[in-house]
Amino acid sequence: MEEEIRQSWWKRNWKWALPSGGCLTILIVIAIFIGVAFNKVSKRTSIVAYINIVTKLQTNKEVAQALGKPIEILEEGYDPESSKDHLDIQMQLDGQKADGTLIAKAEKIDGEWVYSMCIITIEGTNQVIDIKDSLND
């Protein structure tokens, strides 16, 4: 009776395991690199505050009703390198129903962004929508 010699897992599966493991390792390294780069950029600039404002603007139901979807930023006065602890922006907005202007001011206090102003003025109706409270939650 002959005993069948069973090969090791690596010898049986190396043809797919090596490329898969290599690709997965490269993707993990790239993801870590992007995360570290974003963390460094966000500490040196006001990009986090800007992203929070744009996100809240796009998801606010009252703004969506007044301007209409999609909301586009036509003109923005934002320079991410201008300050790491202060944000002062004004943006022209274009919606399907109306246009508007967003004015926002924020300060970084103890590592957290505190928004002192974030209002959207709807052109034509002069309606003012304040989204500051939703940013400071």
Per-residue pLDDT, 83: 65
Are 91 and 76 spatial neighbours (Cβ–Cβ below 8 Å)?
A: yes
Round to whole Å and give the CA distance between 135 and 119. Answer: 11
Per-residue pLDDT, 28: 93
Predicted confidence (pLDDT) per residue in 14-38, tens digit: 888 888 888 889 999 999 988 887 7
Q: Is 115 helix (H, G, I), strand (E, B) or coil?
A: strand
Predicted confidence (pLDDT) per residue in 88-111, tens digit: 888 888 888 888 888 888 888 887
Q: How far from the centroid of its chain's Cα atoms is residue 108's Cα? A: 17
